[in-house]
Structure 1
Amino acid sequence: MRKKIGELLVQAGVVTDEQVKQALASGRRGQGRKLGEVLVSMGLCTGRDIARALAAQHELPFVEIPEYIPHAVSSLVSMDFQTEHRVLLFAVEQDGRSEKIHVAVEDPGNLMLVDELRFQLRKPLKVFVVAPDDLEQALARGRGEPLDIVEAEPMDMDEDDSPDILPPPPPHDGDASADGAEVLEDILGSTPRPKVPKAP
């Protein structure tokens, strides 16, 4: 007999028995919301905690979907289908002479969905459980949705923070070499120069 989600979360040390009882009571008042949803909304655990518990309950591995998924894998089934049914194809495993497709699901209890995928792919599947937020982000990447880019705001600078700008050197008479030396003196400060002995 499978353990309940609440038992698994308590066993894992994520929540206490009392917190599970509070969430169950709140779920009944909230028109039958699932225990996991209530616990997350109460801030007592995360979506990944619930997904790990679901994976343990169904004896399936938990997965954090990688950033990069080969297009040859994700396109085996349309992204519209994957988005609608909350499922994602993310890897292929060579299993002897055949290939095994790695599939991440949000609801491991949806056996009809797994059977439908097997029928469409005509290949064996390895099913993983994924957290809802992780799945949504991966599906968005698969659909090619642009990332939200926050532009950096211009930095306000006080007068004291402004960079020091050297004033242009004053004009000098004389040849170009003398002008260059005097300009360096203006910038670096007056530095005594060695005297060059006169030729006999």
Structure 2
Amino acid sequence: MRIKIGDLLVKAGVITDLQLKAALAEQSQWGGKLGDILVRMEFLTEEVLVRALSKQTGIARSDLTGEGDKASLALIPADVAEEFGLVPVRLKEEGRLLVVAMSDPLNLGVTDHLRSLTGCRIEAQLAGNSAIRHAISRWYRGEELLRDEAGQASIKIVDNSGQSVVTLDPRKQPRNAPASGNGTTRSSAVEVLRGVEETQRRSVAALKAMVELLIEKGVFSRDEYLARVKR
């Protein structure tokens, strides 16, 4: 029987049973990976998530801050890496063993699929979803997400040797761009707004799930909740 990540986190004491149930309710309604949902709901950070899972399972954490290994990357297509939330790290034992960083290394079905795909034995390591997404962007597509001290994001495009080619920084766009040339800026603004709307929608959904769970547990009644909201 497959070990459930949520149960491991409760056992590790980094989330409560109530928080797990709220996250599972969110997952049931909107889908997504449980680890991502727990981090988004701010029940724990991604670093705490990875450390706790590593301690509970004995699976090593993977460092994805360096350069990608071309030989291992050639074995797993980018679309497979994105679909399953994983990234190949390096080959060992003269190419017979492939080390793969995974957000869910307990998923034996994925491990079996990788074994069939690559012809290698698989050594699964742990990494957070955001770390894996950034590694996929850097190693497969040559894009690097950067953040400055103010938390502003930009994209650095690098060539195969790792040298910077160009950095796309939204802060350096002209403030009064001509109407005929601001299509990209306007499109970026729309994407940002969509992201904000999606975050707000999910936050509301998470709050609703928590309220329903508290009502179900008898912490308060629905009438008491509605009376407090109407104040």
- TM > 0.5 fold call: yes
Q: 1:140 is paired with a residue of what secondary structure? A: helix
In the alignment, what sits opposite 2:100?
103
State the percentage of identical aligned residues. 21
Correspondence for 2:113: 116
Choose between structure 1 and 2: higher helix proportion: 2
For the aligned residue pairs, the C-alpha RMSD in angstroms reads 3.0
Counterpart residue type for residue 59 of structure 2: L
Secondary structure at 2:101 match in 1: strand
Q: Which residue of 1 aligns with 2:72?
A: 73
Cα offsets for 1:119-163 (capped at 9, x unmatched): 222222211011000000011113315342327759xxxxxxxxx
Corresponding residue of 1:150: 169
Cα distance 1:43–1:126, how it changes in 2: closer, same or farther (>3 A)? same
- Selected match of 2:11 from 7, 13, 22: 7
Q: CA deviation at 1:37?
A: 4.4
Q: Distance in 2 between matches of 1:83 and 1:131?
A: 13
Q: How many angstroms does 1:75 deviate by?
A: 1.0
Higher-Rg structure is 1
**1: CA distance between counterparts of 2:128 and 2:81?**
15
Instruction: Name the CA distance, whole Å, in 2 between partners of 1:123 and 1:39.
Output: 33
Unaligned stretches of 5+ residues in structure 1: 155-200
Q: Distance in 2 between matches of 1:39 and 1:86?
A: 16
Question: Contact 2:8–2:53 at 8 Å: present in 1 too?
Answer: no
Partners of 1:81 and 1:28 lie apart in 2 by: 25
Mapped to 1, the partners of 2:79 and 2:58 lie a distance apart of: 28
User: What is the aligned length?
Assistant: 144
Q: Normalized per residue, which structure has more strand? A: 2
Task: Give the whole-Å Cα distance in 1 for the aligned partners of 2:172 and 2:11.
Answer: 48
- Could you list the per-position Cα deviations for residues 81-132 of structure 1 after superposition, in whole angstroms to 9, with x for gaps in the alignment? 2222222111122x3x663211111112211111111122222221101100
* Residues 23 and 35, structure 1, Cα contact 8 Å, conserved in 2: no
Distance of 2:95 and 2:140 partners within structure 1:
28
Out of 19, 23, 31, which is 1:23 matched to?
19
Aligned amino acid, residue 48 of structure 1? E
Gaps of 5+ in 2: 145-154, 156-167, 174-231
Other structure's SS at 1:104 match:
strand
Offset from partner CA, 1:34-75 (integer Å, 9 cap, x none)? 764454234342112212223333331111213301212211
Q: Distance in 2 between matches of 1:21 and 1:107?
A: 20
When normalised by structure 1's length, the TM-score is 0.59
